[in-house]
């Protein structure tokens, strides 16, 4: 089935997605708790979003994928505003569910896999033309690789750019296994998301043959 290419001007749903994320980003960029930490948290955003814009004419994701990407970036923007370990939502979850710490960072790492695995699979299917099991295995490996790479880059940035903000930026909250748990949650999120996508495709395929 051919996919009609539409620019931003002719795509009202995408316009709404971009406007919504821009509003969230601007709101969370105003008076963050620690400006230096906010800048560190947004370094990858400053690199990633321009790449999406620059490649939009060559490769356009579906509106669903753009929505999922924007949803994840919005969660990240909220965490960067207060720092992940001090978000009000995280403290509310801690008190409401009797948790031992602010788990907002855990939530976002789970969301990383859940929300970004579908766009990665779309990229694998449309750009790499993968089919069958490979169209699920490669996005799963990519999500896990990206999560691990982020943890490594995060530690380097904390050590090199601003050592005094290392604890706030990394958000380990005294957990020596924080990075491993974050990667495990991203892996779980990707597995759940891809499994759900597989189930939906099988269901649609069964209905189309009925």
In a domain, 112, yes or no: yes
In terms of average pLDDT, the best of 53-57, 115-119, 202-206 is 115-119
For helices 43-54 and 134-160, give the axis angle rounded to 10 degrees: 140
The total domain count for the chain is 1
Q: What is the mean pLDDT of the chain?
A: 86
Residue 75 falls within a domain, yes or no? yes
What distance in Å separates the CA atoms of residue 104 and residue 181, rounded to the nearest whole number? 13
The band of 181, judged by pLDDT with boundaries at 50, 70 and 90, is: confident
Structure confidence at residue 153 as a pLDDT band (50, 70, 90) = confident
Backbone torsions φ then ψ of 150, nearest 5 degrees: -60, -45
Residue 208 in any domain: the answer is no
Establish if 3 belongs to a structural domain: no
Confidence of residue 1 (pLDDT cuts 50, 70, 90): very low
pTM score, whole prediction: 0.86
Using one digit for the tens of pLDDT, what is the confidence trace for 35-73?
888 988 898 899 999 999 998 888 999 999 999 999 999
Query: Span 8-27, mean pLDDT?
Result: 93
More confident residue, 11 or 73: 73
Domain of residue 90: give its range. Answer: 12-198
Does any domain span residue 2? no
């Amino acid at each position: 089935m051919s996919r009609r290419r539409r620019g931003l001007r002719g795509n009202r749903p995408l316009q709404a997605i971009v406007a919504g994320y821009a509003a969230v980003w601007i709101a969370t960029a105003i008076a963050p708790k620690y400006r230096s930490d906010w800048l560190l948290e947004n370094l990858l955003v400053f690199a990633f979003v321009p790449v999406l814009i620059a490649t939009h004419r060559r490769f356009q994701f579906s509106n669903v994928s753009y929505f999922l990407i924007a949803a994840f970036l919005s969660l990240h923007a909220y965490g960067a505003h207060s720092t992940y370990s001090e978000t009000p939502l995280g403290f509310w979850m801690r008190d409401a569910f009797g948790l031992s710490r602010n788990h907002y960072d855990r939530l976002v790492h789970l969301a990383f896999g859940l929300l970004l695995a579908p766009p990665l699979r779309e990229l694998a299917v449309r750009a790499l033309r993968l089919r069958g099991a490979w169209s699920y295995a490669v996005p799963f490996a990519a999500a896990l690789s990206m999560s691990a790479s982020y943890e490594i880059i995060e530690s380097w940035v904390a050590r090199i750019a601003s050592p005094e903000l290392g604890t706030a930026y990394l958000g380990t909250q005294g957990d020596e296994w924080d990075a491993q748990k974050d990667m495990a949650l991203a892996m779980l999120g990707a597995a759940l998301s891809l499994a759900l996508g597989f189930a939906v495709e099988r269901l649609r395929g069964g209905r189309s043959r009925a």
